[in-house]
Chain A
Amino acid sequence: MTEVARKPRRFPLSTAIPLALLLLFVFLSIAGPWLWGTDAETSNVAVADQGISSAHWMGTDDLGRDVLARTLVATRSSLVLAVLATIVGGCAGVALGLLSAVSRRLGRLIDGAIGLLLAFPALLLAIFFAVLFGIGSVGSVLAVGAAFAPGFARITQTLTASVISKEYVEASRVLGKRPLYLTFRHILPNIGEPVILYSTIHIGTAVLALSGLSFLGLGVQPPSYDWGRLLNEGLTRIYTNPGVGIAPSIAIVLAGLTFNMVGERLSDILGGRTAAPPKLPSKQRGLDPAPARAETTGTTGELVEVRNLRVVYHTVDGVTTPVRDVSFSIAPGEKVGIVGESGSGKSMTASAVARLIDTPGRVEARTLRFLDADLLGHGTEVDRHLGRNMSVVFQDPGEALNPAIKIGTHLVEPSVIHQREPKPAARRKAIKALGSVAISDPARRFRQHQHELSGGMKQRVCIAIGLMGEARLIIADEPTTALDVTVQRQILRLINDIGEMTGAGLLFISHDIAVVSELCDRILVMYAGFVVEEARTADVFTSPAHPYTAMLLAASPDMDTDKSRQLPTIDGRMPGPGVDLPGCYFAARCPRADVTCTESAPPLRTLAEGHRVACWHPLTGAGAAGDDELTGVEAKI
């Protein structure tokens, strides 16, 4: 594996080798017969059937002809026929595939035929077609081409179907474009790459298939010969001269390998994976050190305590820091919400607390504790502890349930494992849990699989799973984003009720500040991997201190928004996780920013009781400057 410095070299090994081999084969195809033709044909019975020697590196065949020469000369027929067969198969297959995707009635027929043909291995089909088309070069090219056509047809079908259903094709249709235009401007260009890739790899397969046919005697006929034919003729004589077996074998394998490698390399290049992955830096570049003066509002005895949390990813694309510096605490039974837009790091924060971050991600923190257990440690004890006391609800309930497992199993497992409950008791408890999340007919649902449930039901199941333990903390990451608003309401009430009933704490993540405000006592606003404001829910709305919070509140219309005015907006984008800035990450977009803001990062300071903000010029409290010039509207009640 090559090591690559800043820039990838023009020809890393992974490109050089296949390219070189390909060129070799092309050269042999063109020049082979010319260079070694005479040697290949010169028969000299006196030296027939000789083994490997210095005069004949691969020995001689039964007519005294040099085996190596014949093998080299055979390159042309082997490769040219393979390319022809691929072209034949490709054209026929792509045409069939396009036709089937595009024409309704014919399409179903073609689809059925392709499905049936695909069930059979290529060689059997090739033999069938060889009977039809006859043996010999032409026949075998047609036969192998016909055997490949269903594969091409299927891949074309699949690709075309996926492109046709894409919205940009639909948009074109709405604009009045006709099918012919769609085919040539949208479909073909978008399926072109994968099809070409497939073809390239298939040339290798064609070489193998044609040689196989020739090996059986059904392909190229004497006096012409290809590698397969050579193998066929030589098979009986490998006892006397192994060369007749070795030479064509190596040629076939090498050709197959070459096209495979070329195909894979091409696929890598087209997919953008051009360079070898860079070496991981042993030292990080200067990321901001955790501010030592971070003030804390919590005391020990907290449910969750997080100080200076940082999450770093080392990937092929470089180093990214989705969470830069987050500190907060959750008291037992308290409901805390984290609000932020995409890229703010809120989900990562939740994942870090839930210990779900895997390599290449790394979690660093001064403190990361849950119920007095250090989450930064390792070991199964920590896992057991979390399994009993923490429950996590994810965004997409459809994805969070294993499609191969019954609903009931999901529920029962944690109890049986972590609390060592006997199965029947666990089952009863599970059915009761399903009932308490208002799923109708829980006993029946217990036996079903996830695809038989609606989105809202699935999410309730996920919550019910959390009920099976004695969770002290529920972490909910965008649990209602994928749900309708009426279902969302029910789920939110459910989560609230559970919190009330069990006294569990809640960490609720969402991009929707209104939703968070319904449920949570305290809200953290995150931006670019930092907590920029933390306050009690009411305070966030009546007196937002951070300009970003104010903008967030103003930009989202509610039922009282003034219809005669435009929605307030700010230009610019949130800095991504790969960017490192010395100062405040919001400064570029903030109308209140000055030089201080761009030069040094504001720490999270206490503004008032229970209200912290990371800003040099907050809107309220110490350092505030009068009117809210950002939104120009009164703070909301």
Chain B
Amino acid sequence: MSAQLAGEPDAGSPAGPAAGAATGRGVGQWAFFVGRKLLRLVVSLLILVTATFIMVHLIPGDPVLAALGDQATPQLIALRRHELGLDLSLPAQYFHYLQGVVTGDFGRSIVTDAPVSQLLATKFPNTLGLAIPAFVLVVLIALPVGLLTAIRTRGGRGRVTRTLFVNITGLLNSIPDYVLATLLSLIFVVAIKAFPAAGNGTAASYVLPVAALVVGPAASLSRIVRVEALKVLDAEYIRAAKARRLPTLLRYWRHVLPNMLTASLTFGGMILAGLIAGTVLVENVFGWPGVGTVIAQAVIQKDYPLIQGILLVLGATVLILNMIVDFVLGVLDPRSRMGAH
């Protein structure tokens, strides 16, 4: 059956690291690391593209017919099918699709016949306009809050703080972004009328959507940061640093922070990727002219080229974000540069 269960070559503990090979020259190590990550990105993107391609072809029935409905004339159907290249063989379609993606041609909407790339070009920046400030805020809030709470609640102290923290973050974590967006809208738009209801015209219009995006993830990440910080604070090497009587601030800055960041970032990456999904939901509450408002309609209308285009763009953003997180991790944690996958 399995190699693992049936017996794999295994060793007790291999003798210490071979002195020469492990370190390598700094630059070479970095180049190798960056190269690997880029390669990974390219492969993932390829898989993403393929997945969006296959998605359409797995659906039973004729996509064009499904999109246009019974009313459409056979000529229109045939026209659209030809435009979409659906009359070609499958590999040819795939190649055509790939070609399109690389050159920036994502096809045309079945419903409106407008070029998808145009739609993406106008709408996607607006989505980014929400997502990026949200990223920054989440990190800026969660890191200090998590660390400070950890310091305060170490070793069973600060029971009150701990209870408050756990309960408040637990509560905030349970409010999904679209619900929060609705509630914020209710309070600040309907009741108090302090902010605009929809659209991204003014700077003020950013406040509510970004707030709705930030609260949950910031609560979640600060919990993780706290747990990781506690782990580090209890580590033997921090005890050793205390034994060397290093001043507290230095200890935190140079000894605690880098180790804490490493683990927090890994989770943080996932949370930040979730922000991208969050924008899809929040945009719908505030009528934000981003891709989020478009995709729901597109799915309902079965407008596949549009769906593919949006999923591609959102998916690619997530993958690039992951790669950036990996790079930052590489800077912070020398071990991850070294070839461990």
Contact = CB atoms under 8 A, between A and B. Distances in A.
Interface of A: 1, 101-104, 107, 116, 118-124, 127-128, 130-132, 135, 164, 173, 178-179, 182, 204, 208, 211-212, 215-218, 231, 235, 238-239, 242, 245-246, 249, 252-253, 256-257, 260-261, 264, 277, 315-316, 354, 356, 358-360, 380, 383-384, 386-387, 391-392, 394, 396, 399-405, 409, 413-414, 417-418, 444, 448-449, 451-457, 462, 465
Interface in B45-74: 47, 51, 55, 58-59
B161 to A, nearest CB: 12
Interface of B: 1-7, 15-17, 19, 22-23, 44, 47, 51, 55, 58-59, 154-157, 159, 163, 170-171, 173-176, 178-179, 182-183, 185-186, 190-191, 235-247, 250, 254-255, 258-259, 262, 270, 273-274, 276-278, 280-281, 284-285, 295-297, 299-300, 304, 307, 311, 314-315, 318-319, 322, 332-335, 338
9 closest A-B pairs by beta carbon, nearest first, are A454-B16, A387-B245, A399-B236, A123-B277, A404-B258, A121-B277, A256-B174, A104-B3, A216-B296
Contacts of B237: 399-403
A119 B322 contact: yes
A120 B159 contact: no
A348 B300 CA distance: 67
B51 A179 contact: no
28 contacts: A102-B1, A124-B276, A124-B311, A127-B295, A128-B311, A130-B299, A131-B299, A212-B176, A216-B281, A231-B178, A231-B179, A231-B182, A235-B284, A242-B191, A245-B182, A246-B183, A252-B179, A260-B170, A360-B156, A380-B247, A386-B245, A396-B236, A400-B240, A402-B238, A414-B246, A451-B17, A454-B17, A462-B240
Contacts of A457: 16
Contacts of B242: 356
A261 B4 CA distance: 37
Nearest to A101: B4
B262 A135 contact: no
A542 to B, nearest CB: 36
A479 to B, nearest CB: 12
B183 A260 contact: no
Contacts of A182: 5
Contacts of A401: 237, 240
Contacts of B183: 245-246, 249
B120 to A, nearest CB: 16
A165 to B, nearest CB: 9
Given A211-B176, A394-B236, A218 B243 contact: no
A404 B262 contact: yes
Nearest to B187: A242
B114 to A, nearest CB: 20
B322 A449 contact: no
A102 B318 contact: no
A242 B190 contact: yes
Contacts of B182: 231, 235, 238, 245, 249
Given A394-B239, A413-B244, A253 B170 contact: no
Q: Is the interface of A mostly helix, strand, loop or mixed?
A: helix
A208 B278 CA distance: 12
Given A242-B190, A414-B245, 17 more contacts: A102-B5, A118-B270, A119-B44, A119-B319, A123-B280, A124-B277, A130-B299, A135-B300, A216-B299, A231-B178, A252-B179, A257-B171, A354-B243, A403-B333, A404-B332, A448-B23, A451-B334
Contact of A245 (B186, B239, B241, B338): B186
A392 B243 contact: yes
B37 to A, nearest CB: 13
Contacts of A354: 243
A212 B186 CA distance: 18
A452 B17 contact: yes
Contacts of A400: 236-237, 239-240
B5 A179 contact: yes
A256 B175 contact: yes
A1 B167 CA distance: 12
B299 A449 contact: no
B156 A238 contact: no
Contacts of A164: 4-5
A124 B318 contact: yes
Contacts of B238: 402
B51 A128 contact: yes
Contacts of A132: 55, 58-59
Contact of B156 (A252, A315, A409): A315
Contacts of B335: 403, 449, 451
Contacts of A215: 178, 281, 284
B240 A131 contact: no
Nearest to A106: B2
Nearest to A183: B5
A610 to B, nearest CB: 30
Nearest to B269: A119
A417 B277 contact: no
Contact of B239 (A103, A179, A242, A356): A356
A414 B319 contact: no
Given A120-B318, A402-B259, A413-B244, A253 B296 contact: no
A461 to B, nearest CB: 11
Contacts of B281: 123, 212, 215-216
A100 B338 CA distance: 26
A102 B239 contact: no
A394 B241 CA distance: 11
A211 B175 CA distance: 12
